[in-house]
Amino acid sequence: MTTMRTPTAKTAKTAKTAKEATTAKTGPTAPRTVTDGGLLLPVPDADGAPFWEYAARGELRVQACAAPDCGELRFPPRPCCPHCRSFDSEWRLMSGRGRVWSYVRPHPPLLPAYAEQAPYHVILVEPADAPGIRLAGNLVSAAGAALDSVDPERLRIGARVQVVFTELDGVALPQWVLERAS
């Protein structure tokens, strides 16, 4: 679905910024892989491009097999269904609700733009309407909030979350917020 490219050690030693290092490796006409602030951007492949197109519309969708006798959801996206081997697929709209399946709090050493916000939460979410699927993202207090905006004491396995979309250099990134107790 998405390849995250980082500068090679040799390139990073000679480059002054992450942006220069990325340009040195991929060339000036390649898609941007790093923001001006040094955060990594997704680099969609052909199978994952629809995920990012729907995200730009504020929709969380998961690829599903479109074969009449299958319909299995799959993530990350791929050309062929691993259950029935069909190449027919569709993108199903998800509710955007889920539960924290796992998480980690990265600590330095990290890329400089991430080290400034560490520690923060990277979570795996199991969508409520897609059991067995896991989506990775950051837990934040609100769309566009800093990566370290949630108190670590509030995060628990099984916590209910809701997707929000944050625009970062023209890319809509799915992030997650804790659902409020009703």
- Peptide bond before residue 109 is cis, with ω within 30 degrees of 0: yes
Look up residue 127 and give its amino acid.
P
* pLDDT bucket at 95, cuts 50 / 70 / 90: very high
- Per-residue model confidence as pLDDT tens digits over 49-67: 999 999 999 999 999 999 9
Strands 122-127 and 97-104: antiparallel
Nearest to 137 by CA among 103, 96, 94: 103
Alpha helices in 15-161 (DSSP H): 18-26, 49-56, 112-115
What fold, for 95-182?
OB fold (Dihydrolipoamide Acetyltransferase, E2P) (2.40.50)
Contact 79, 114 (CB under 8 A): no
- Per-residue model confidence as pLDDT tens digits over 63-80: 999 999 999 999 999 999
Nearest to 99 by CA among 178, 2, 45: 178
- Per-residue model confidence as pLDDT tens digits over 96-149: 999 999 999 999 899 999 999 999 999 999 999 999 999 999 999 999 999 999
pTM score, whole prediction: 0.81
The yes-or-no verdict on residue 22 having pLDDT over 60 is no
Contact 74, 63 (CB under 8 A): yes
Domain ranges, ordered by start, for the chain: 95-182
pLDDT, position 24: 46
Contact 43, 5 (CB under 8 A): yes
